[in-house]
Amino acid sequence: MSYKNFPMVPRVIFGRGSFNQLSEIIYPKRFNIHAPFIFLVDDVFKGNAWLTSRIPLSYDDRLIFISTNEEPKTSQVDALVEDIILTSKQKTSGVIGIGGGTLLDLAKAVAIMLTNEGETKDYQGWDLVKNPAIYHVGIPTISGTGAEVSRTTVLTGPDMKLGINSDFTPFDQVILDPELTQGVPTNQWFYTGMDCFIHCVESLKGSYLNAFSKSYGDMAFELCKEIFLEDHLTEHEAQDKLMMASWHGGMSIAYSQVGVAHAMSYGLSYLLGTKHGIGNCIVFDHLEEFYPEGVKLFKAMKKKHHIELPKGICANLDDSELDIMINISLSLEPLWENAIGKNWKKRITREKLKSLYQKM
């Protein structure tokens, strides 16, 4: 038996308003005045002076706004890296991602590709990255994915949606300022928050569970119940707690694995472009037979917050389209093995997945 030697985020600052300290945090990391910091920022903040006026731009630093209409692509990372290299006089001092899972993943990938040759798609997989990344900082503005702690950056490439999983992927620094999540619309708050809840259920109910994953998973699970089912938290407390739930949920799956909802929502994402948070919700809603208690709680949370999930998104798909989703889903073997156990292939047949997808 060989155990995973897991890298962690070495520095984290937590607190409402801690974003104000960004300048002093990155200051020592600047190589010289021509070696820029690159700020990748969700374009939802364009024109939002409350946030952007606190981004400490100086010398040749650049702020690049990025749309989250689509989840990150390998070609997008290649284009960003080329642009950064062409417009910088010297080596980049650091990459700072400000936004949700999309921006955090982009910042990680760009930091890796600034020091590694070739195309981003060549690094999708496990431990393919050769050189340490450029200094990179993650600043979440919505909570749930756990991308701020994880060892992966999930990218859609020409052939597949797959992460760059490597020891060089985790951030060098994370800034957890729950105040930054204040403008998140309710539906999106729910979808991305449920990504965290589903990480917990899949980890805690999985066959890979161990004391490391369980301790983090239990903490995040309790926080999610408090945030999404109880009424006693103030808005600020709920923001603070969801940010920590996301962190712990991410730590929990780091040392175990996700399960059925993620395996099936990757299929939806690949074929239909369904986003991660809402896709997981659409799938999880139909997974009573795998996660009876988790799904019951999920339905109660959905009801409490008046969330209407889209229905019938697979109703008009033909067999060849369903096959594409089924292939993507079945290829995620570790997820199925975690969810069902070693003999998962007996229970999870193509017919089974087809009938589940057709309900969604």
* 285 binding partner (options ligand NAD, Zn ion, none; Cβ < 5 to 8 Å by kind): none
In the region spanning residues 41 to 100, those forming contacts with ligand NAD, defined by CB under 6 A, are: 42, 44, 68, 71-72, 99-100
Would you say 35 or 328 has its CB closer to ligand NAD? 328
Of residues 181-200, those binding ligand NAD (CB under 6 A): 181, 183-184, 188, 192, 195
Q: Measured from the CB of residue 59, what is the shortest distance to Zn ion in angstroms? A: 37
Residue 183 near which of ligand NAD, Zn ion, none (CB within 5-8 Å, type-dependent): ligand NAD
Binding mask 183-202 for Zn ion (x = CB under 5 A): ------------x-------
Binding piece for ligand NAD, criterion CB under 6 A, among 57-65, 79-87, 118-126, 150-158? 150-158
Amino acid at 45: F
Nearer to ligand NAD, 35 or 41 (CB): 41
Give the C-alpha distances (Å, rounded to integers) separating 343 from 93, 143, 146, 257. 48, 35, 29, 17
Helix (H) or strand (E) holding 104: helix 101-113
CA distance 271 to 313: 11
Alpha-carbon gap, residue 358 to 353, rounded angstroms: 8
Q: How far is the CB of 333 from Zn ion (least distance, A)?
A: 18
| DSSP labels, 279-338 | HHHHHHTT-TTT-HHHHHHHHHHHHHTT------TTTT--HHHHHHHHHHHHH-HHHHHH
Question: Between the CA atoms of 96, 142, 166 and 175, what dihedral angle is there, to the nearest 10 degrees?
Answer: 50
d(CA 240, CA 215): 19
* Residue 145 lies near ligand NAD (rule: CB under 6 A): yes
148 binds Zn ion (CB under 5 A): no
Distances (CA, A) of 136 to 25, 42, 98: 12, 16, 11
Nearer to ligand NAD, 63 or 354 (CB): 63
Residue 148 or 195: the one with the smaller Cβ distance to Zn ion is 195
Q: What pairs with residue 98 in β-bridges?
A: 41, 139
User: In this complex, which beta carbon is closest to ligand NAD, that of residue 7 or of residue 292?
Assistant: 7
Q: How far apart are CA 104 and CA 86, in angstroms?
A: 23
Task: Provide the binding-site residues for ligand NAD, judged by CB under 6 A.
Answer: 42, 44, 68, 71-72, 99-103, 105, 141-142, 145-147, 150, 152-154, 180-181, 183-184, 188, 192, 195, 276-277
Task: Provide the binding-site residues for Zn ion, judged by CB under 5 A.
Answer: 195
